Structure 1
Amino acid sequence: MLRTSSYVIYVDLPNESDQMLLVHGYTGAYDQVSGRVANYVRSLESKKPPKPLYGDWSPEPFVDDAVLPSEQTINTLKKRGYLTELSVDAEQALFDKLTKVRHTAAGRYPGYVFMPTYDCNLRCSYCFQDHMRRDNACRTMLKTMSPATVDRIFAAMPKIEEYHQIPPTEKPHRSITFFGGEPLLARNRPIIEYIIAKAQETSTPSFGVVSNATELQEYRHLLGPELISFIQITLDGPPHEHNKRRIYADGSGSFEQIAQNISMALELKVRISVRLNIDRNNIHELPELAREIIKRGWHHYDNFHAYTAPINAANDRTDRKTTFSSWELDRAITELHKQDQDMFVIERPDMRLRSQAGQIFTSQSLPSLQPSFCGANTSMYVIDAFANLFACWERTGDERIRIGYITEESDLVIEDAMNKLWRSRNVTTNAICRQCRYAHYCGGGCAVLAENRHGELSANFCDGYAARFRAGVAESYQKHIASQQEAVKTESLCEEV
């Protein structure tokens, strides 16, 4: 019997009640249809979307009386996946199969994250590693990675790649990211230089860093498109606000040194992504920070962008009441964009989602479907100064949660139970995600945030994704239509001239 697929997403368009976008959750189809066709599809729903264990879905559009479309339209809807003759159980089995294939493909190539130290020169109150610098029992964890450990790691890399069934090659491509603590402390420079040299000797590498950039000037000779080509740097507001949050151990601020180093790196053609950690206490400072960005001229560089991210309550010094969800933050930033013209230099939280949708509408790319949230669930290896292997850089520093380690003899040891816990997590490993229309776009949400909120890595963390997806896709589509109409006007004007 013909019915509506369990994975159809209905994207209603603001101020266009007679039009709607249909998006399919696992085929990746995007189609604009009339309200009449959309209502017909809704009329064949066999069951409502499941209610999440935590929170509620955003309200769904109202269904009017359905009018039977033409046979050609029905056949198109079937071909695009919106209508199906599979039973609910049979379609879910197909969903499971596609998830497994995509999850396996996503885990094909390992990515390496080097943590040369857990130590850091800043004392940010919301840091998830804050206890490491405050607890004397963790003092031994703050050592710097040694050259001997680096040698062990690189000797084990072919074994990690063999574990992922990658055929051996003379100089494979390897993606290497530096993370900490603070990886680019001045005193770490010899070991960073050693890691880079070792990577160049044994592979064709690319390098990126997540850094506070306070001592980046010590690494000038390593910055550029052929070496460290990408750096994520955090600012927490304009100077006076940032200097209350991202402080040195003596309580002094760090903004000016970071800003000088951002300017230096931009000149050296490093791609700079400035992350702005936002909560309810500093969001009103963003227009002032936007003016600071404009004053320093960073927005003129193609290799610069600034984006916002919500602060999460990752330790007992962060009050959850002061935090935003991603959806709440997006709405708040949208209002600031309307109120202040300088805010154009700061991206909204879901710009990636909007950008991907926009590229689909302009036929520049295919939909990006992800049955798992990030590399922690597929093939990321976070390697600390002790040669321990972790799946996620926010879950490190404790041997009980490592997914493996590299022995003194450079043998690879995988801790099967913990490795399976992380690497098997995808949208089929909990009942909510498995039935969710948005699953292959959301990926189930961040495992760490799910565990923080619900006590289990396998739980879902929706973070308002249903509303975020629909709003983002609708906005991108309307911008696409507006640009097409503008192009037609321009073409007509040229013909008249």
Structure 2
Amino acid sequence: MKIFPSKYNYYYKISSEYTIINNFLTGALDIIGSDIWNKVLGNRFDEIEGDPLSALVERGYYYQNLADEDKLFKQLFKNLSKKSKTRPLKFVFCPTFSCNLDCSYCFEKNLPKSRSKPMSDELLESALVAFNEFIENYNKNVNKVELFGGEPLLKSTRQIVERILEFAVSRKLIISIITNGVLAKDFIDILKPINSSIEMLQITLDGPDFIHDKRKKFHSGKGSFQRITESINELVVNGINTNVRINVDVENIVYLPHLYEYVCKMKWLDYPNFKIKPSQVTDHSTLECKYPIIPEEKLLEKLIEIYDEYPHLEDAFGFYMFKPIRHIIELTGGAENVTPRYFNCESNLVEEYVFCPDGYIYTCPESIGNPESAIGEFYPELKFYEEKIKMWSKRDIMTIKECRTCRFSPICGGGCPYSSMLIYRGSLHPICERFQEVLDTFFKYRGKKILKKFIS
């Protein structure tokens, strides 16, 4: 019998005895004896005892007909596209492009200073009117409101923030705030009364004071660690959901143990409303910020070195900041129905509408301030740019030619659409990430640990 291997197979020889195989389209993940797998790869099926072929076909690693995989690919896409149309949307309000910090890796450094004033009352009211009009005319389900910047929590934006929060609470919307945290404690008086509506405040802390203050400074050059940690502490003890994000790169990753020790000393982990996780420093704006970013697998190697020395940190932080590893962990953790990613992010689905002080509406928070990427405007009246919306919404692994034959496309989604637009002046180009290198590195150092889960 002739059978054909799936385009979406990945395998790694964990030891002389075992090979791990994963199919990114079906989500199947298995451990197979290396001797058997080598015979499978060599099409020497007559040398294998028993009937492994039926299992390989059933799990989606092989097909009796090449057309069957394409049918499955298209059917899954159709199912997911149908589901995506019922997903709720998120409205993001950016009260100002201004920020009170000058972070070394900021992707917004090129925002024009001439447009740094807060959103005017007139613009804000237009944004809120547009919100209502959008729901009524487009029959869309919006369930979240997010505050973003610039920095949304400034003295100059307090009235705007109060108005937006009041608006969100009156419509029973879930609230999240992305803030640097410098002045967050000054907003507790308006946040605490609506705490039940707040999903979280996300605040970045990049290490202990001596490393954080090198990266996240005030414009005067002074460090921000003390002000930010004061805010985190006030938020946490007041019961407000607080997510600390550690933006890690080669400069600060070695200080993760020091930061974790500080967090334990502050007893924040004793509070159920406190969470902390590392996240990679990325630059989807094509290195406009001129910040050195090392390959993902090199960052992963450094993280594993730290985990080997401080095993409790692996339990605390894990590997969730690496997209392909997150996929593997979900599968080995017993997750079912891990569906493919035909789209890269919410912006591809146009599920976020970012209202900015320049009067434009964006779908990607990282593209704000660049009118060429706007999908509409809300001042003086609501207007959408249908061609721009199509550029975002029609970008997926079905429409990007290179993705149709890439084994990683079902867990990649084609890469960042904004990067594609900046680099290629169009959306139908892949932005390839280093999934092969990251997975190979992960299994090199953690493959035997995963093996124990399967054979113990």
- Normalised by the shorter chain, which TM-score bucket? 0.7 to 0.9
Superposed, which structure 2 residues align to 1:54-453 within 5 Å?
Answer: 67=46, 69=48, 72-87=51-66, 91-92=69-70, 94-108=72-86, 109-132=88-111, 135=112, 138-139=113-114, 141-157=115-131, 160-161=134-135, 166=140, 174-202=143-171, 204-221=172-189, 222-223=191-192, 225-302=195-272, 303-312=274-283, 314=285, 318-319=289-290, 322-340=292-310, 343-344=313-314, 345-348=316-319, 350=321, 354=325, 357-378=328-349, 379-409=351-381, 411=382, 413-451=383-421
Between Structure 1 and Structure 2, how many residues are aligned? 450
Distance 1:255 1:304, change over 3 A: same
Is 2:7 the counterpart of 1:14? no
Q: Which residue of 2 aligns with 1:52?
A: none
Secondary structure in 2 matching 1:192: helix
Q: Give the Cα–Cα distance (whole angstroms) in 2 for the partners of residues 460 and 483 of structure 1.
A: 35
Q: Give the Cα–Cα distance (whole angstroms) in 2 for the partners of residues 436 and 236 of structure 1.
A: 35
Given that residues 151 and 179 in structure 2 are in contact (C-alpha distance below 8 angstroms), is that contact kept between their aligned partners in structure 1?
A: yes
Distance 1:270 1:66, change over 3 A: farther
User: Displacement of 1:161 after TM fit?
Assistant: 4.9
Q: Give the Cα–Cα distance (whole angstroms) in 1 for the partners of residues 239 and 441 of structure 2.
A: 34
Q: Give the Cα–Cα distance (whole angstroms) in 2 for the partners of residues 144 and 312 of structure 1.
A: 25
Q: Give the Cα–Cα distance (whole angstroms) in 2 for the partners of residues 74 and 461 of structure 1.
A: 35
Given that residues 450 and 461 in structure 1 are in contact (C-alpha distance below 8 angstroms), is that contact kept between their aligned partners in structure 2?
A: yes
Q: Single out whichever of 151-160 and 395-404 deviates more from structure 2.
A: 151-160
User: Displacement of 1:68 after TM fit?
Assistant: 5.0
Q: Give the Cα–Cα distance (whole angstroms) in 2 for the partners of residues 79 and 342 of structure 1.
A: 39
Secondary structure in 2 matching 1:131: coil
Distance 1:459 1:484, change over 3 A: closer
Secondary structure in 2 matching 1:372: coil
Q: Give the Cα–Cα distance (whole angstroms) in 1 for the partners of residues 308 and 255 of structure 2.
A: 15
Given that residues 284 and 418 in structure 2 are in contact (C-alpha distance below 8 angstroms), is that contact kept between their aligned partners in structure 1?
A: no
Secondary structure in 2 matching 1:371: coil
User: Displacement of 1:104 after TM fit?
Assistant: 4.9
Counterpart residue type for residue 345 of structure 2: C
Q: Which residue of 2 aligns with 1:489?
A: none
User: Displacement of 1:66 after TM fit?
Assistant: 5.1
Q: Give the Cα–Cα distance (whole angstroms) in 2 for the partners of residues 439 and 347 of structure 1.
A: 24
Unmatched runs of 5 consecutive residues or more in structure 2 = none
Secondary structure in 2 matching 1:219: helix
Secondary structure in 2 matching 1:81: coil
Distance 1:473 1:406, change over 3 A: farther
Q: Give the Cα–Cα distance (whole angstroms) in 2 for the partners of residues 162 and 427 of structure 1.
A: 32
Secondary structure in 1 matching 2:103: coil
Given that residues 290 and 346 in structure 1 are in contact (C-alpha distance below 8 angstroms), is that contact kept between their aligned partners in structure 2?
A: no
Q: Give the Cα–Cα distance (whole angstroms) in 1 for the partners of residues 282 and 188 of structure 2.
A: 30
Post-superposition Cα deviations, 1:66-113, rounded to whole Å, max 9, x if no partner, equal 55556753223222222213336x644652453354245335432221
Distance 1:339 1:317, change over 3 A: farther
Q: Give the Cα–Cα distance (whole angstroms) in 2 for the partners of residues 323 and 404 of structure 1.
A: 32
Given that residues 111 and 380 in structure 1 are in contact (C-alpha distance below 8 angstroms), is that contact kept between their aligned partners in structure 2?
A: yes
Secondary structure in 1 matching 2:200: strand
Post-superposition Cα deviations, 1:203-246, rounded to whole Å, max 9, x if no partner, equal x3111121100000122131575133312222233212222221
Given that residues 395 and 401 in structure 1 are in contact (C-alpha distance below 8 angstroms), is that contact kept between their aligned partners in structure 2?
A: yes
User: Displacement of 1:193 after TM fit?
Assistant: 1.8
Q: Give the Cα–Cα distance (whole angstroms) in 1 for the partners of residues 207 and 41 of structure 2.
A: 45
User: Displacement of 1:421 after TM fit?
Assistant: 1.0
Q: Give the Cα–Cα distance (whole angstroms) in 2 for the partners of residues 142 and 104 of structure 1.
A: 40
Given that residues 107 and 288 in structure 2 are in contact (C-alpha distance below 8 angstroms), is that contact kept between their aligned partners in structure 1?
A: no
Counterpart residue type for residue 278 of structure 1: V
Q: Which residue of 2 aligns with 1:42?
A: 41
User: Displacement of 1:36 after TM fit?
Assistant: 4.2
User: Displacement of 1:318 after TM fit?
Assistant: 4.8
Secondary structure in 1 matching 2:10: strand
Q: Give the Cα–Cα distance (whole angstroms) in 2 for the partners of residues 143 and 259 of structure 1.
A: 27
User: Displacement of 1:402 after TM fit?
Assistant: 0.7
User: Displacement of 1:389 after TM fit?
Assistant: 1.3
Distance 1:380 1:68, change over 3 A: farther
Distance 1:13 1:190, change over 3 A: farther
Post-superposition Cα deviations, 1:399-418, rounded to whole Å, max 9, x if no partner, equal 33211122535x4x221221
TM-score relative to the length of structure 1: 0.79
Cα root mean square deviation, aligned: 3.3
Distance 1:358 1:479, change over 3 A: farther
Unmatched runs of 5 consecutive residues or more in structure 1 = 45-64, 167-171, 487-497
Given that residues 11 and 474 in structure 1 are in contact (C-alpha distance below 8 angstroms), is that contact kept between their aligned partners in structure 2?
A: no
Secondary structure in 2 matching 1:367: coil
Secondary structure in 2 matching 1:307: strand
